[in-house]
Amino acid sequence: MTLTGNGTNTQKAYRIKKSLRELVQKPRPKQRKFSITLPPLPHNDHIKEELAYDVLYECQRGSLLVGYSSKTLLQFDPNPWCDGNMSFTPMDISNYQLPDPMWEWVSENWMIDMTEDVDEAGWQYAFNFHGAVWRGNYKHIRSFARRRRWIRLRRLPQITIVQPVVTKHDLIDVEHLSIPDTLLHRLKKCRLDRERLSVFNSYDYDLQLLEKVDEYVKLFDFESSKYKFLSHFFTKKYYSGIKQVSLNETEIKAIQSLRFHRDRQNILNIIS
């Protein structure tokens, strides 16, 4: 409030000056995290099969000169193809592998996910890739990043192990076989690793089984099955009351046949 020469009161406006640092560090309201859900799984019998979606994200960055492209991604941007968590993956829709040979594809091809907020081609836009709110409409100068989600449905059928019909000829052959030969004979008739593990687990532990353990391992197709077989085999041996284990030549060959050093080391830890 100031007093002028003619005795009238006039009011002067005051402005509060703020530094540039205070304006930059001004707290901003938290943005609502954008999350999208997968389409509902088709109706199925969960006892007979298991269904799941595989997800891949296609990422591109926009440029005023060349438009949107994966070749214009910056160093701190995600890869052109990411998994469902927007993390690095070396695979894309042309070379994606199922997690296990037991799974099979339900969808013939990969499909663009058109659920939630996307444009007519399935793209979502944002100012950048990290910590952004994704939207389905393009906004000029605010849509330098875009991503598109691809999905594909797979299923895991529940395989029922059918006991083979044993003929009279088979019974005659098996009766003249020793325990290791009988086990080897049954394992060779199995088609899947799961069936071979089931056959081995049905046998009671016997020292005679040590004779052909290296031949048993060769019958399994996958590394994970070989490791399960040997770990179960040596665990049975450990709990059979043998205080000091002395590996013979066949057991050493069986352990060395494992492809991964981690698996070999775990087997040795079980023995020790």
* pLDDT per residue as tens digits for the range 211-226: 677 788 888 888 888 8
Whether 58 and 148 map to the same domain: the answer is yes
| C-alpha neighbours within 13 Å on the C-beta side of residue 226 | 22
Q: Which tokens sit at 132?
A: 């952004």
Mean pLDDT of 54-77: 92
Of 157, 187, 206, the one marking the end of a domain is 157
Taking residues 241-259, what's their average pLDDT? Answer: 74
Q: Mark whether 242 and 212 lie in a shared domain.
A: yes
Nearest in space to 146 (alpha carbons), one of 185, 115, 119: 119
Tell me what pLDDT residue 171 has: 43
Q: Domains in the chain: how many in total?
A: 2
Q: Is residue 184 part of a domain?
A: yes
Using the predicted structure, report yes or no on whether residue 97 has a pLDDT greater than 80: yes
Is the domain of 108 the same as that of 83? Answer: yes
Please list the helix, strand and coil fractions of the chain in percent, rounded to the nearest 5, in that order. Answer: 30, 15, 50
Shared domain check, 264 and 185: yes
Q: What is the pLDDT of residue 179?
A: 53
**pLDDT number for residue 149:** 94
In a domain, 4, yes or no: no
CA distance 15 to 94: 62
Same domain, yes or no, for 148 and 94?
Answer: yes
Per-residue pLDDT, 176:
41
- Chain center to CA of 198: 26
| Domain ranges, residue 138 | 40-157
Specify if 77 maps to a domain.
Answer: yes
Mean pLDDT of the 71-96 span: 92
CA 52 to chain centre: 11
Of 101, 131, 157, which residue sits at a domain end?
157
Residue 246 lies in a domain: yes
Q: Which of 129-133, 215-219, 239-243, 247-251 has the lowest mean pLDDT?
A: 239-243
Note the pLDDT of residue 17: 59
Give Cβ neighbours of residue 201 (< 8 Å, ≥ 6 apart).
Answer: 232
Of 215 and 123, more confident: 123
pLDDT of amino acid 73? 93
- Asked whether residue 115 is assigned to any structural domain, the reply reads yes
Identify the pLDDT of residue 92: 94
Of 11-20, 106-115, 190-199, the least confident: 11-20
From 109, 124, 157, the end of a domain falls on 157
Per the prediction, the chain carries an average pLDDT of 76
- What does the pLDDT read at residue 177? 42
Residue 105 and residue 82 in one domain:
yes
69 part of a folded domain = yes
The larger pLDDT score, comparing residue 93 to residue 241, is at 93
Q: How far apart are CA 143 and CA 25, in angstroms?
A: 24
CA dihedral sign of residues 107, 109, 112, 114: negative
pTM of the model: 0.47
Q: Are 151 and 246 in a shared domain?
A: no
94 or 197, higher pLDDT: 94
Q: Examine residue 189 and state whether it is found in any structural domain, yes or no.
A: yes
pLDDT band for position 58 (50/70/90)?
very high
Q: Say if residue 213 is in the same domain as residue 258.
A: yes
In a domain, 53, yes or no: yes
52 CB-near residues (< 8 Å, 6+ apart): 41, 153, 154, 155, 156
Same domain, 152 and 44: yes
Which tens digit of pLDDT belongs to each residue from 15-52?
555 565 555 454 554 444 444 567 777 766 555 678 89
239 shares its domain with 214: yes
Residues 122 and 172 in one domain: no
> Are both 198 and 122 inside the same structural domain?
no
